[in-house]
Amino acid sequence: MNYRHIYHAGNFADCLKHIVLTRILTYLQKKDKPCFCLDSHAGIGAYDLSSEEAQKTGEWQQGIARLMGPDAAPLPANIAQMCEPYLAIIRKLNPEGPITTYPGSPLLMAEMARQQDRAFFVEKHPDDAETLKQTIRRDRRFHIRQEDGWNAIKGDLPPQERRGMVLVDPPFEEKGEFNRMIWYFTQGYKRWANGIYCLWYPIKARRDVDEAAGMLKAEGIDNILRAELVINKLDTAKRLNGTGMFIINPPFMLHDELSALLPFLAERLGETARRSHLEWIAPPR
């Protein structure tokens, strides 16, 4: 458990993950019915971009700063619309202007939650779970647990609301993380086939991701979208070259939105490569 997200908070991968997250929540909240969120690998909830750790890598400078920093070109209208309320929450957390506080997934979920909604946040690292409890105010709608998030994907599903999403965002610091993610996802899916699932992954080498996509396809589950952003040439597997998400049961509008958003993000956030990829691994039935 060496992983610390503070070194990566607000980078290009967070931007894509968190925009997708807020788009899904926006869709879920179109109806008054209560929604449920499970964040199985929650992190600490808010990240201080002025901290020594964040400054050391400066990854957010190539991420969120390029979308809304002082030197960022204005966003095209359709992209700006998609990026709300993600950007609105960041503006709210940084009322002075410069971005020093970057929200993690549980804070985005908590900020967007309506009175009728609930969310479970699971974080295994004891210090991080404690920090998360301090970040997310005490509220009957939010349950924060320090435990293994993989088990929560089995144990917490299905939720009573029968409407909502699961974010699975592991650190990928151990071998076999793709296999583990797909195995636990299928356990959760067996219990709750109508949930929206977002499985985040890093792209270091194309082969690993293609294999994972093949494994998911072999599960015979419908309605799986693969959305990817590649910002560096895939000439070494030693760095984070790109990022992607497998989205199971995506809201109907998400495919069209991503077909505009991904090429835009690739251009805006790209370094030695500017590519995106959007494909149905398994189409909706």
Q: Per-residue x/- mask for ligand SAM, residues 164 to 193, rule CB under 6 A? A: -----xxx----------------------
The residue among 158 and 171 lying less far from ligand SAM, judged by its C-beta, is 171
The residues assigned a catalytic role are 169
In Å, what is the CA distance from 240 to each residue of 73, 179, 204, 216, 232? Answer: 25, 19, 5, 22, 8
For tokens 């089995």, what's the residue? 154
Within 10 Å of residue 282's Cβ, how many Cβ atoms? 17
In Å, what is the CA distance from 122 to each residue of 111, 130, 159, 190? Answer: 17, 11, 15, 20
Nearest approach in angstroms of CB 16 to ligand SAM is 11
Nearest approach in angstroms of CB 104 to ligand SAM is 3
Q: Is 14 helix (H, G, I), strand (E, B) or coil?
A: helix
Binder of ligand SAM out of 148, 177, 208, 219 (CB under 6 A): 148
Span from 49-57, 85-93, 146-154, 229-237 in contact with ligand SAM (CB under 6 A): 146-154
150 binds ligand SAM (CB under 6 A): yes
Please work out the total of residues on this chain that contact ligand SAM, with binding judged by CB under 6 A.
21
Q: Tell me phi and psi for residue 251, to 5 degrees.
A: -55, 150
Binder of ligand SAM out of 23, 118, 125, 133 (CB under 6 A): 125
Binder of ligand SAM out of 43, 195, 202, 242 (CB under 6 A): 43
* Helix count and strand count (H, E) for the chain: 11, 10
Q: In what order do the strands lie in the sheet with 118-122?
A: 142-145, 118-122, 36-39, 164-168, 196-203, 242-248, 224-230, 275-282
The residue among 14 and 117 lying less far from ligand SAM, judged by its C-beta, is 14
23 binds ligand SAM (CB under 6 A): no
Nearby residues of 168 by Cβ (< 8 Å), 6 or more positions away: 40, 41, 149, 153, 181, 184, 185, 197, 198, 199, 200
Binder of ligand SAM out of 23, 66, 124, 226 (CB under 6 A): 124
Binder of ligand SAM out of 19, 35, 42, 254 (CB under 6 A): 42
105 binds ligand SAM (CB under 6 A): yes
Taking the C-alpha atoms of residue 200 and residue 17, their distance in angstroms, rounded to an integer, is 7
User: Which residues contact ligand SAM by CB under 6 A?
Assistant: 1, 3, 5, 17, 39, 41-43, 104-105, 122-125, 128, 148-150, 169-171
